[in-house]
A and B are shown apart, each in its own frame.
Chain A
């Protein structure tokens, strides 16, 4: 058993070293290709404390995603356990990469409001355009509703498109897990109780958890070192729980993620040499969700992903406050921006959130062991 542990730790160290070696070249490459954070359309850069972040290379998450994928393919390729996590990670990362690239190189996208659509339905000359607008009206309504959860972005993948593609990624994973991998994946460990086989209900649960967790990590990636620093203990905890449950390939996969994230965070702490981008945050969020499922740790996800969920909930609470009650709950969502606006420095915010997150991860591991 300890020989296995040694191999797991060794793979983590190897991933860290490989990432450290590759990172400087990646930073240069991203800078040379012009894949950098643009000032236009990014309202958070208007804050005085964030003005230095413009032109920082983004898509740094490619480093972690790439190292995880390569290490797993070369040393840890296991149909029963590692295919699905890598598949979900790659699908989510692909979506994130498209978003990142469109944000940098894409043109401004025009979004028609609901009232504009209604006006066109009434006045457009061509009957077939009017008919098309009527047929697609429910989708137009969905589009408008989903905008309340996004910032006022005008480039990149729009919120409703992102949610649709994430739903598709979650559905493909759920289908593969339910029909191809058997009952092991349909069990959830309930701490202090035992295992619970939820059968076909695993499908909607996977879709929901993958979508929510991927977006939760995505919204947390708003400060230098924040998401990376919190993902290290989270993947470390998953690796430990997988090892204690005898899932060695999953323990190795999570250890590689944690190791690579150490190197990523080294270059991402303030002032960041590069930023994760959606490619990293969505990819790693998807990987986190599916690995929690694979190690039967879904019930403790609210603990081991505590700060990510808190950040995502702050966005939801802010949207409800704004659109239902007409009032701000936070000065700005997600909550790390609120803390910054009430006067906390970026460093203080990040370190306090790291500490809170770490405490919950430790509690989650303790609960997960029962």
Chain B
């Protein structure tokens, strides 16, 4: 078994992922998963709706700690994560993908992602809001929109591409996105490393958040590949299960990366 030309994501994007994996506060916990769908908070700070950068999450955590008279430095990693979850601080999958891909594009081309993504907002006001608050208005459906990305085969995949699940979850209304952080060609197979923000039912109240995994794909069979995350494969791997449950799961590349 030998590897040919491993392809890895840009250093800037890697640094963003690493900061999500160990937030720059206290004992450096990983960033929890937070989805605003249930909360439905509007026109708030983006960090409070699951769309913040790691630094913003850390800063908000410090402010909340001051307001709640909590000394962050005295908290263990688990307790700190508990505190983050109790304050609804975290990131959702598209918020995570937005900041990582924005950093990748910024390093690759010196451009901002918001300038190349067409949001699904309609009308002048809607478009203006999307322009002013891009992270909050670029969801998985926007990433997966044909105007913004195109489907590719596993063999074509590169770091910076995405694995998108449309219509997953119990009621098939959830979408999800993984960011491909590295691609290795191993003999006749392709190994995709990815990072994402997700909550598995087995994670409990605080075990969720940003993490990494990989998929070993033979041929072009994404769902038939071996998915490994948190040491789990097969039925125990909820990410894989979500991909299989989805109406559509595909590997996609942003059009701005195709140019």
Which A residues contact B (CB, under 8 angstroms)? 43, 46-48, 322-328, 331-332, 341
Contacts and interface: CB of A to CB of B under 8 A. Distances in A.
Nearest to A47: B66
A133 to B, nearest CB: 21
B93 to A, nearest CB: 18
27 contacts: A43-B67, A46-B66, A46-B67, A48-B66, A322-B45, A323-B43, A324-B132, A325-B132, A325-B133, A326-B43, A326-B44, A326-B45, A326-B51, A326-B133, A326-B136, A327-B46, A327-B47, A328-B45, A328-B47, A328-B56, A328-B59, A328-B60, A331-B59, A331-B63, A332-B63, A341-B63, A341-B66
Interface residues of B, number: 19
A113 to B, nearest CB: 11
Contacts of A341: 63, 66
B56 A327 contact: yes
Given A326-B135, A326-B136, A327-B56, A46 B44 contact: no
Interface string B30-62: 000000000000011111010100001001100
Chain A CB within 10 Å, residue with most, of B44, B49, B67, B68:
B67
A46 B60 CA distance: 15
Task: Give the secondary structure class of B's interface.
Answer: helix
B2 interface: no
Nearest to B40: A115
Contacts of B49: 326
Interface in B222-257: none
A46 B46 contact: no
Interface in B55-100: 56, 59-60, 63, 66-69
Nearest to A332: B63
A328 B69 CA distance: 21
B63 A326 contact: no
Contacts of B69: 46, 48
B63 A46 contact: no
A332 B67 CA distance: 11
Given A46-B66, A325-B133, A331-B63, 7 more contacts: A43-B67, A324-B133, A326-B45, A326-B49, A327-B46, A341-B63, A341-B66
A327 B48 CA distance: 10
Considering the complex of A and B, which 4 residue pairs feature the smallest CB-CB distances, nearest first? Answer: A326-B46, A46-B67, A326-B133, A323-B43
A46 B68 contact: yes
A170 to B, nearest CB: 29
Contacts of A324: 132-133
Contacts of A46: 66-69
A327 B59 CA distance: 11
A255 B44 CA distance: 45
